[in-house]
Amino acid sequence: MPKTDTILSAKSLRYFLQLIDTMNYTQAAQILGITQPALTQQIKKLEHAIGAPLFGQMGKKLYLTEAGKEMQSAAVELLDTINSVVDDIQEFTQADKGSISVGVLDTIDIEIFRQFVVEFNKNYPRIQLNILTYNRQELWRRLDNNTIDLAIMYLPDNTKRDEINLQHQYDHMELFKDRLMILTHKDTVEAKQAYPISRFTRRKWVSYPEGSYLTQLMKDYFGDKNKPIVSLTFSKAKYLIETAQTTEYDTYISKSYYLAHKKDINLTPVYVKDDKDFEIAMVYRKGKVEIPRIKNLLEEWKKFLDKKDYSSRLE
């Protein structure tokens, strides 16, 4: 087998670029859904094929060698070419046949989108819809690698190192203007009013995990001088609420989740004064709307909301 067969493997290139993103074999392997030895073996094959190390190590930290930097540029260019070819081929596929993969941020409740998917399937039964949940970093990776067609996530998002990528490479459709909501046991606040975060700095919290979108918002609100006192973490809003309601801890969720589940919530919902705007959005690579079946999905989604808007469906 020629050495170039190894270098030009799309899988190998993605593994290589993922390791560059994390500079940590364990984290990269977890994101890729493989074992660390498998990732190590793949990198060694690439290094053997080109005859030079791609990574060096200083203490416990990895760094890119000069050969690694050259390989990074080539890998990005090659994968962009592959993605472009795939998009070109998909443009000629049928509008009512094929598959569409949708990645959803793991902290977003997808009940409304699930209802839409059921309706869409009735109209386009030959289109297979694959709905999968991921964290923010994995969503962007899969969008970049064209392994998902659409992503439902929060925007603005700082996961991307270069925000220009969002403007130049991606389009998005706003689904709902959302807002962070604190659920508290405090009896000195009024429901749905906004309060300075200083009113909550001494509270203990049930929180989303580190790195989650709403967790990052809370840390921004608290500022550098204060940190939320986190006692427990869960990745799902359902467990945050249930735990907060059976303890003395406060928690925080999105307004959209509160509207959909407020009948099951007995904590006081309040907002953070001068909070930041964000939205639930459908994000996709530019050019995706030229693929007939994806164009149909986006058009059907608009019709779905014309019948009853997102906010009304939440309640």
Cα separation values, 239 from 92, 138, 179, 235, 268, Å? 44, 23, 19, 8, 17
CA distance 12 to 206: 39
User: In terms of domains, do 131 and 188 share one?
Assistant: no
Domain that holds residue 59: 3-89
**114 - beta bridge partners?**
none
> How many structural domains does the chain have?
3
User: In terms of domains, do 168 and 223 share one?
Assistant: no
User: In terms of domains, do 171 and 304 share one?
Assistant: yes
User: In terms of domains, do 138 and 195 share one?
Assistant: no
User: In terms of domains, do 97 and 155 share one?
Assistant: yes
Per-residue pLDDT at 228: 92
User: In terms of domains, do 163 and 187 share one?
Assistant: no
Per-residue pLDDT at 6: 47
User: In terms of domains, do 69 and 101 share one?
Assistant: no
User: In terms of domains, do 7 and 70 share one?
Assistant: yes
Side chain identity at 113, as an amino acid letter?
A: F
User: In terms of domains, do 259 and 127 share one?
Assistant: no
CATH number, domain with residue 14: 1.10.10.10
Q: What is the DSSP string of 188-245?
A: SS-TT-EE-GGGGTT-EEEEPPTT-HHHHHHHHHH-SS---EEEEE-SSHHHHHHHHH
CA distance 148 to 96: 18
In sequence order, which residues have a C-beta less than 8 Å from that of residue 133 and are 6 or more positions away?
A: 103, 104, 105, 106, 110
Per-residue pLDDT at 87: 61
User: In terms of domains, do 32 and 97 share one?
Assistant: no
| CB count in 10 Å sphere of residue 8 | 15
Residue finishing a domain among 29, 57, 89: 89
User: In terms of domains, do 258 and 197 share one?
Assistant: yes
Question: Helix 10-22 crosses helix 36-50 at what angle (to 10 degrees)?
Answer: 110
Average pLDDT per run of 10 along the chain, which is 315 residues long?
55 88 91 90 87 89 91 86 68 72 92 93 91 90 90 83 58 93 96 95 94 92 89 94 97 95 96 93 89 91 93 88
CATH number, domain with residue 239: 3.40.190.10
Under a CB-based contact definition with an 8 Å cutoff, are residues 152 and 110 in contact? Answer: yes
| CB count in 10 Å sphere of residue 15 | 24
Total-model pTM: 0.68
- What's the token pair of residue 277? 């705007």
CA distance 196 to 67: 51
Per-residue pLDDT at 159: 64
In sequence order, which residues have a C-beta less than 8 Å from that of residue 57 and are 6 or more positions away?
A: 63
Residue finishing a domain among 89, 121, 137: 89
Residue finishing a domain among 46, 68, 89: 89
Per-residue pLDDT at 164: 42
Q: Is the dihedral of CA 280, 284, 286, 288 positive or negative?
A: negative
Length of the chain in residues, anyone? 315
User: In terms of domains, do 155 and 229 share one?
Assistant: no
Residue with tokens 């309060």: 195
Helix-strand-coil percent breakdown of the chain, rounded to 5? 50, 25, 30
